[in-house]
Amino acid sequence: MQGSENSHKPDINQADMVDTKEEANVPGISSDATIQTGEIKETQPGVEQLLKDAEIKAAEHHDAWLRAKAETENIRKRSQSDIANAHKYAIENFSSELLSVMDSLDAALAVENASVESFKNGIELTQKQLMSVFDKYNIKLIDPVGEKFDPHYHQAMCIVDSDLAPNTVVQVMQKGYKLHERIIRPALVSVSKAQGS
């Protein structure tokens, strides 16, 4: 058995062992690892330097992140302010146009001893002026006498007997208005009876 155990062991040269011991016992150096570490220290920065560099980069990234965060917050606040102002002053131009209509009404009321006819003419001119402002801002009149009743544009107030076709607008009690295609106010109407009702 001993012979077979010895046959499997590698043949170790005594001279190799001595050389290794001599290398390991060099004064001032404790082992091969220390020698290799010494070589690394000469070619690469120390751990302290790497840590310091990493801390500097981390601080730079953190500073950049804080600046980006602050800038984003400023943009958000500015956007909210712009939206609030847009809502608040959305009708500014429209209001300016209405002021000329108000001026016309004030001028009409300032006239002393005016006849009914001159008041009527002044009101008609003021109405035309107002309709001009409405046209400029795409506010359209809904005056559907004789048209087929449309619940999207008309609100039926009553149903009446009429010679007109069934479900036709007979009378407009209050005109409606739309802004572009959106209904601001439906027209209040009376509608002809359907046959057999």
159 contacts 192 by C-beta, under 8 angstroms: yes
Q: Tell me: pLDDT of 22 over 80.
A: no
- Name, in order, each residue with C-beta under 8 angstroms of 169's C-beta and a sequence gap of 6 or more: 144, 145, 146, 147, 148, 149, 154, 187, 189, 190, 191, 192
Residue spans per domain, the chain = 138-197
Global model pTM greater than 0.75: no
- Domain 138-197, CATH class in plain words: mainly beta
pLDDT tens by residue, 79-124: 999 999 998 998 898 999 999 999 999 988 888 888 889 888 889 9
130 contacts 170 by C-beta, under 8 angstroms: no
User: Which residues on adjacent β-strands are paired with residue 191?
Assistant: 159, 169
Calpha distance 13→35 (Å, rounded): 24
Q: Tell me: pLDDT of 135 over 50.
A: yes
